[in-house]
Amino acid sequence: MPSKLNVAVCGATGAVGQQMLACLEERNFPYTDLKLLASPRSQGRELTVKGSGIKVEALGEDSFKGIDLALFSAGAGVSREWAPKASAAGTVVVDNSSAWRMDEQVPLVVPEVNPEDIAMYKNKGIIANPNCSTIQMVVALKPLSSLAAIKRVVVATYQAVSGTGQKAIDELAGQARAHYQGQALKAQVYPYPIFHNLLPHIDVFEDNGYSREEMKMVNETRKIMHQPDIMISATCVRVPVVYGHSEALNVTFAGPVSPEAARQILSAAPGVKVVDDPAARQYPMPVLAAGQDLTLVGRIRKDLSQENGLDLWVVADNIRKGAATNAVQIAEMWLASR
Which residues neighbour 207 within 8 Å (Cβ) at sequence distance 6 or greater? none
- The helix-helix angle for 212-224 and 132-145 (nearest 10°) equals 40
Provide the total of helices (H) and of strands (E) in the chain, helices listed first.
8, 13
- SS3 of residue 118 by DSSP: helix
Cα–Cα distance for residue pair 162/58, rounded to 1 Å: 24
Residue 303, φ and ψ in degrees, nearest 5: -75, 115
Q: Catalytic site residue 236?
A: no
- Assess contact for 163 and 179: CB atoms under 8 A: no
Dist. CA 222–CA 161, nearest whole Å: 26
What pairing do the DSSP bridges indicate for beta strands 295-302 and 309-316?
Answer: antiparallel
Taking every pair of C-alpha atoms in the chain, what is the biggest distance, in angstroms?
Answer: 60
Of 10, 23, 132, 236, catalytic = 132
**Could you give the C-alpha distances from 83 to 65, 71, 308, in angstroms and in order?**
13, 10, 43
Residue 209: count other Cβ atoms within 10 Å of its Cβ. 7
Strands in 69-72's sheet, in edge-to-edge order, are 46-49, 52-58, 33-38, 6-10, 69-72, 92-95, 126-128
- Go through 249-287 and write b for each residue having 16 or more CB atoms within 10 A of its CB, e for each that does not: bbbbbeeebeeeebeebbeebebbbbbbeeeeeebbbbe
Judge whether 23 counts as a catalytic residue: no
Q: Determine if residue 173 is left, alpha or beta; phi over 0 gives left, psi from -120 to 50 gives alpha, anything else beta.
A: alpha
Range list of H helices, the chain: 15-26, 76-88, 132-145, 166-180, 212-224, 259-267, 286-289, 325-337
Q: What is the set of active-site residues?
A: 132, 245
